[in-house]
DNA sequence: TGAGTTAGAATGGCACCACCCGTC
DNA sequence: GACGGGTGGTGCCATTCTAACTCA
């Protein structure tokens, strides 16, 4: 399965999502993470401690792709319309991480419109990330808005936990973090990977 | 005074910062906000209610620039190195909003390195945004890191408040929001503007 | 269906009624709102956020009228007698919003007399608006007075809620307002639209 | 003293204000109320029981004006710009009643702009009317907005009382109404008249 | 006196850091 | 003495409750 993670806007936990999904898919079948972000965030994250899966540059992707069952592609922050359609064409699932706020939602609709023009929306699946804790209903509200717009979403949402930041800082996956909420954080991506593989 | 707001990464409250500083500088002297972001976030924000200051497109900037005492420029999300140096050369203060997390900090250093290559770091001033509430010490820690790296920062930081999201949603400044923390949110930018004008 | 909203007196929630009916009719079939008020209240209201239905100026009305199933016309505050008869002739239903107080009732009778002179009272339907809360029986009393005068009224009345003011202020429909009574306020117009369509 | 009561919008308690001020000024010196409203609201109000002061039609105004110390003029609901400037020129004080809501405030600014064009704003004085009871802060907020816009206002505001409606219905002044709040309602206009005469 | 609307105050839940105290 | 787990306290936010006021 080829999973592409893309978004029109930075700060949506795109790299975090790509890395954790790669790790979870890797537990299932050999998985390759392709770092297509010009900031090379995933590569530098990997460099600190090393992940249990292989991380390669965009240019090396073709060379390795045959050897792996799953491929997760972390794309650049703001792809052009053409890029986006090509990305969608070249994958099985296009995951778009989205934080629950109005401005992100606006840019999401730009993205989905672009996909619809290319008849490429079939592979789209939106993942809510950095969802604030429960007295806030931002997560539920955005899910409702997306359901109304007939856009496919993961039922699982990724909650806002300090553990994710710590993981990025230390260059490890969130389940290796020493924090009371690391397990909760990890379980969110576990549930997403279950949805993905089912 | 010409104030440019720029960052290498999205989701750092760049547009929010540009708009609120424009509003506060405008209370001092006539101020123009130049919307250089290709998403035209500031322009669309302005369209809903209308701000007390003028907002123009990048292309119209030159025409209006003579009529205003202060100019605030909201730049695109990821300027090229060359763009960045030109932006720095064309302003009095280059404000870089920064959220206190490791990945944002990494991209900030890319930006400051670029500035140093062009000997343009003199105008740089970093503003911490979306800082989590107080039991967290993220804000202080990042401020300390920046101080150690001899990077100039605003002493004031912008805290994370729901009121900012609501303001973006309704297309108004945060002080018009009906929320118990709207006043606190507004006071943060007031303090930044004081630092800026002193 | 062409619905005209008119009154001899300001402050009767005429624009609020026109906008909410347009929204509710639009949920049924494509609807156009014609802003005939010289203050352009509906147009400026629409400008802030944008309604799900089209709003046009009086002069453009003819051009668009063919494309829509329903047309709601918001007229000027105090039409001349001749204007009023022409408005009545050019619509299917003439809705007159009315607040339950003696002075408004007086001006209403001026209006109905004018209609009777032109044999145009058949299309008239009166809508009570800004009705005070229940210990007050103003609404029922005025409804009784109108029934006695053989004037057709909506059984539903629009109650007085702060949410309507907030909606006007933010330029949105009342159901988007964050207020405990927003749902009640919205349901009033929902019931009116049901009466209108049955 | 010649007092003109005018507004751009109906439903602002214009006639109620004119009648009560005429009554209170009449207690001071002989006062004439000129009914310039085409609805003849004041005249019909007077017809029921009779006021202690004289009420005349606009056309008869000139004839009687010499005999009275104070003249209160109740004008039509939406004067043209030219009318308004003439009204302002022909009086000592131009009272504009205003209800505390956003739409009324918008039309008020249209009116004040018109006055400023004719350099006639010196006589302007705004009176807040139909102010909701105390948990609501609408009155204070609008007063603050007007103070910010440097528009002169009465310190006293007229609160929203059922007694005013009852007075209009029965054709009497509010102090003759049998209601626990009639005294409060009356005292509001008493305080306005004190401000006016001082 | 009681009903109804409204704004402000109080409550409870959640994430997070810091402190405390026991154990190795 | 260092480490580790549990506890308390802080801050934000949504909801619920309360107080104020009008009015039958």
Could you report the per-residue pLDDT of B56-92, keeping only the tens digit for each? 998 888 889 889 999 999 998 778 888 888 889 999 9
As a whole number, mean pLDDT of residues C72-95 equals 90
Q: Tokens standing for C146?
A: 């109108």
Asked if D181 contacts D162 with a C-beta cutoff of 8 angstroms, the reply is yes
Rounded to 5 degrees, φ, ψ at A195 are -60, -40
Over residues D51-93, the pLDDT tens digits come to: 999 999 999 999 998 999 999 999 987 788 888 989 999 999 9
- Binding-site residues on chain D for chain C (CB distance < 8 A): 9-12, 15, 39, 41, 44, 77-78, 99, 101-104, 106-107, 110, 136, 138, 162, 165, 168-169
D9, C11 in Cβ contact below 8 A?
A: yes
How many CB atoms neighbour CB A60 within 10 A? 14
Chain B window 120-159: residues with CB closer than 7 Å to nucleic chain F are 133-135, 159
Section B36-40 average pLDDT: 82
Contacts of C79-86 with CB under 8 Å at 24 or more apart are C79/C6, C79/C8, C81/C114, C81/C117, C84/C6, C84/C111, C84/C114, C84/C115, C84/C118, C85/C114, C85/C115, C85/C117, C85/C118, C85/C120
Check contact D-C (3+ Cβ pairs < 8 Å): yes
Predicted confidence (pLDDT) at residue B153 exceeds the cutoff of 90: yes
Coil/strand/helix, residue B71: strand
Q: Can you give the pLDDT at residue A79?
A: 82
Q: What is the 3-state secondary structure (H, E, C) of C39-91?
A: CCHHHHHHHHHCCCCEEEEHHHHHHHHCCCCEEEEECCCCCCHHHHHHHHHCC
Largest Cα separation within chain D, whole Å, is 48
Contacts of C47 in chain B (CB under 8 A): 47
By the 8 A CB rule, do D138 and D110 touch?
Answer: no
Which of C10, C39, C102 is closest, CB to CB, to D165? C102
Q: Are A74 and A5 in contact (CB under 8 A)?
A: yes
**What pLDDT sits at residue B186?**
97
Which residues touch B58 (CB under 8 Å, ≥6 apart)? B34, B35, B36
What phi, psi does D126 have (nearest 5°)? -95, 140
* Res B40: pLDDT: 81
- Please report residues of C whose CB lies closer than 8 A to that of B48: 48-49, 171
Residue D19 predicted with pLDDT over 90: yes
CA distance linking residue A182 with residue B150, whole number of Å = 33
Which residues of C have a CB under 8 Å from any CB of B? Answer: 47-49, 170-171
Structural contact between residues D158 and D128, judged by C-beta atoms closer than 8 angstroms: yes
For chain D, the straight-line distance linking the first and the last C-alpha, in angstroms and rounded, comes to 12
**Which DSSP category does D179 fall into?**
S
CA–C1' distance B135–E14 (Å)? 13
Distance between CA atoms of residues A54 and A30, nearest Å = 9
- Contact, A138 CB vs strand F, < 7 Å: yes
3-state secondary structure of A143: helix
pTM for this one? 0.91
Instruction: Name the residue with the least CA to C1' distance from nucleotide F19.
Output: D135
**Which chains would you list as touching B if contact means 3+ CB atom pairs under 8 Å?**
A, C
Average pLDDT of chain C, as a whole number: 92
Query: What distance in Å separates the CA atoms of residue B21 and residue C17, rounded to the nearest whole number?
Result: 39
Phi-psi region of B171 (alpha: psi -120 to 50; beta: other; left: phi over 0): left
Within 10 angstroms of residue B65's Cβ, the number of other Cβ atoms is: 13
Q: How far is the CA of B146 from the C1' of E15 (A)?
A: 26
Q: Is the torsion defined by CA of A111, A113, A118, A119 positive or negative?
A: positive
Distance from CA of A61 to the nearest CA of B (A): 24
Looking at residue B175, its pLDDT comes to 93
The average pLDDT across A20-31 equals 96
The continuous run of DSSP H or E covering A5 comes out as strand A2-5
- Identify the residue whose Cα has the smallest distance to the C1' of F21: D133
List phi, psi (to 5°) of C114.
-60, -45
Nearest to D54 by CA among D26, D74, D75: D26
Is D174:D163 a contact under the CB 8 Å cutoff? yes
What confidence tens digit (pLDDT) does each residue in D115-171 have? 998 888 899 999 999 999 999 999 999 999 999 899 999 999 999 999 999 999 999
Whether the per-residue pLDDT at A174 is higher than 90: the answer is yes
- Count of CA atoms in the C-beta half-sphere (13 A) of B134: 0
Confidence at residue C170, expressed as pLDDT on a 0 to 100 scale = 85
Nearest CA to B27 among D102, D105, D108, D148? D148
Q: How far apart are CA B185 and CA B175, in angstroms?
A: 8
Kindly tell me if the per-residue pLDDT of B49 is higher than 80: no
Mean pLDDT of C15-22: 97
Residues C26-49 have a mean pLDDT of 87
Predicted local distance difference test score (pLDDT) of residue C97: 97
Question: What are the residues whose beta carbons fall under 8 Å from the beta carbon of D129, sequence distance 6 or more?
Answer: D12, D13, D16, D17, D97, D98, D99, D157, D158
Residue C158 near residue C5, CB atoms below 8 Å? no
Instruction: Please tell me whether any atom of strand F lies within 7 Å of the Cβ of C137.
Output: yes
In chain C the beta strands, taken as DSSP E runs, fall at 2-5, 31-35, 54-57, 70-74, 93-98, 124-128
The reply to whether the CB atom of residue D180 sits less than 7 A from any atom in nucleic acid chain F is yes
How high is the pLDDT of residue C82? Answer: 87
| Subunit partners of chain D (3 or more CB pairs within 8 A) | C
Closest-CA residue of chain B to C177: B170
Nearest in space to A112 (alpha carbons), one of A102, A98, A99, A101? A98
Q: Which residue of C has its CA nearest to B51?
A: C48
Contact D60, D71 (CB under 8 A): no
DSSP per-residue string spanning B130-156: SBPPTT--HHHHHHHHHHHTT--B-SS
pLDDT, residue B188, reads 97
CB neighbour list of residue B133: distance below 8 Å, 6 or more residues apart:
B159, B160
pLDDT at C142 over 80: yes
Backbone Cα Rg of chain D: 16
**Beta-carbon separation of D10 and C162 below 8 A:** no
Q: Which nucleotide is nearest to C166 (CA to C1')?
A: E6
Q: What is the dihedral of CA C128, C133, C136, C139, to 10 degrees?
A: 10
* SS3 at position B31: strand
Which of B76-80, C55-59, C179-183 is predicted least confidently? Answer: B76-80
Which chains have 3+ CB pairs within 8 A of C?
Answer: B, D
Q: From the candidates C43, C45, C49, which should be mutated to test the interface with B, based on the most B CB atoms within 10 A?
A: C49
Which of the 8 DSSP states describes residue D153? B
Strand stretches in chain D, DSSP E:
2-5, 31-35, 54-57, 70-74, 93-98, 124-128
- Closest-CA residue in chain B for C50? B48
Taking CB atoms and an 8 Å limit, are C11 and D12 in contact across chains?
yes
Kindly indicate the confidence band of residue B143, based on its pLDDT and cuts at 50, 70 and 90. Answer: very high
Where helices occur in chain A by DSSP H, the ranges are 14-26, 41-49, 61-65, 81-89, 102-117, 138-148, 162-170, 182-197
State the smallest CA–CA distance between residue C170 and chain B in angstroms: 7
Does any strand F atom come closer than 7 Å to the Cβ of D179? yes
Nucleotide lying nearest to C184, CA to C1' measure: E5
**C162-175 mean pLDDT:** 92
Question: Which positions in chain B touch A9 (Cβ < 8 Å)?
Answer: 10-11, 77
pLDDT of C50: 80
Nearest nt by C1' to D140 Cα = E7
Q: What is the pLDDT of residues B88-109, one digit of tens each?
A: 999 999 999 999 998 899 889 9
How far is Cα of residue D110 from the mean position of the Cα atoms in its chain?
A: 18
Give C104's contacts in chain D (Cβ within 8 Å): 11
Mutation to test the D interface, candidates C43, C136, C165, most D Cβ within 10 Å = C165
**What is the pLDDT, as a whole number, of residue D96?**
97
**Residue C5 · residue C17 · CB < 8 Å:** yes
Q: Could you write out the three-class secondary structure of A16-53?
A: HHHHHHHHHHHCCCCEEEEECCCCCHHHHHHHHHCCCC
Closest residue, by C-alpha, to the C1' of F24: C135
pLDDT band at A146 (very low <50, low <70, confident <90, very high): very high
D157, D177 Cβ separation under 8 angstroms: no
Note whether C touches B: 3 CB pairs or more under 8 A.
Answer: yes
Distance from CA of B70 to the nearest CA of A (A): 27
Is D186 near strand F, with its CB below 7 A from some atom of it? no
Is the distance from CB of B36 to CB of B74 less than 8 angstroms? yes
Question: What is the average pLDDT score of chain B?
Answer: 92
Q: Quickly state the pLDDT bin for B174 (edges 50, 70, 90).
A: very high
Residue listed under structure tokens 């605030």: B72
Contact D103 C41 (CB under 8 A): yes
Q: C11 to chain D: which residues are within 8 Å by CB?
A: 9-12, 99, 104
Which nucleotide is closest, CA of B133 to its C1'?
Answer: F11
B124: part of which helix (H) or strand (E)? strand B124-128
Looking up tokens 């690391």 gives A182
Within 8 A of C10 by CB-CB distance, chain D residues are 9-12, 77-78
Give the neighbor-by-neighbor strand order of the sheet with C93-98. C54-57, C31-35, C70-74, C2-5, C93-98, C124-128
């Amino acid at each position: 399965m080829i999973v592409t993670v893309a978004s029109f806007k930075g700060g949506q936990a795109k790299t975090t999502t790509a890395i954790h999904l790669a790790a979870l898919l890797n537990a299932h079948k050999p998985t390759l993470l392709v770092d297509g972000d010009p900031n090379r965030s995933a590569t530098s994250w990997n460099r600190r401690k090393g992940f249990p899966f292989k991380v390669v540059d965009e240019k090396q992707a073709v060379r390795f792709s045959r050897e792996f069952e799953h491929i997760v592609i972390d794309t650049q922050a703001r792809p052009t319309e053409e890029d986006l359609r090509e990305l969608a064409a070249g994958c099985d699932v296009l995951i778009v991480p989205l934080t629950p706020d109005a401005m992100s939602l606006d840019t999401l609709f730009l993205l989905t419109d672009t996909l619809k023009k290319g008849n490429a929306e079939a592979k789209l699946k939106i993942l809510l990330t950095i969802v604030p804790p429960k007295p806030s209903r931002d997560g539920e509200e955005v899910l409702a808005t997306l359901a109304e717009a007939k856009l496919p979403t993961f039922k699982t949402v990724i909650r806002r936990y300090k553990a994710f930041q710590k993981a990025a800082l230390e260059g490890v996956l969130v389940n290796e973090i020493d924090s009371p909420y690391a397990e909760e954080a990890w379980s969110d991506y576990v549930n997403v990977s279950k949805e993905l593989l089912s």
